Amino acid sequence: MNKMYVIHWKSTVNGRAGTGTKLFHRDDAESLVEELNREYPQIEHEIREASRGQEAVTGDSSHRASVGDEPIEMMAVR
């Protein structure tokens, strides 16, 4: 089984933080984190290995989310 990853984020403006629920393969997660860090420099994004519980509940998702699919909290931090 391939390891799956989620994206964790933290606002440098107000300290709010969260972890996404979408699962990504490592290459997709790294690419998306680079894009998000460019588009939203006031928010630090990083990949984290998904826990077994996240993989069991969400399943194997091989698609890449677009920036528009990110949690609303990320957009509100601007």
**pLDDT tens-digit readout, 26-78:** 999 999 999 999 999 999 999 999 987 776 554 444 333 434 444 434 443 43
Q: Tell me, what's the pLDDT at 52? A: 77
Three-state DSSP class for 8?
strand
> Do the domain assignments include residue 30?
yes
> Do the domain assignments include residue 21?
yes
> Do the domain assignments include residue 19?
yes
> Do the domain assignments include residue 73?
no
Domain span at residue 33 reads 15-61
Q: Tell me, what's the pLDDT at 51? A: 86
> Do the domain assignments include residue 78?
no
Q: Is 0.75 topped by the overall pTM? A: no
Higher-scoring residue by pLDDT: 10, 68: 10
> Do the domain assignments include residue 38?
yes
Q: Tell me, what's the pLDDT at 53? A: 74
Q: Report whether 38 contacts 75 (CB < 8 A).
A: no
Domain count, the chain: 1
Q: Tell me, what's the pLDDT at 74? A: 42
Find all residues with CB under 8 Å of 23, minimum gap 6, and list them: 4, 5, 6, 50, 54, 55, 58, 59, 60, 61
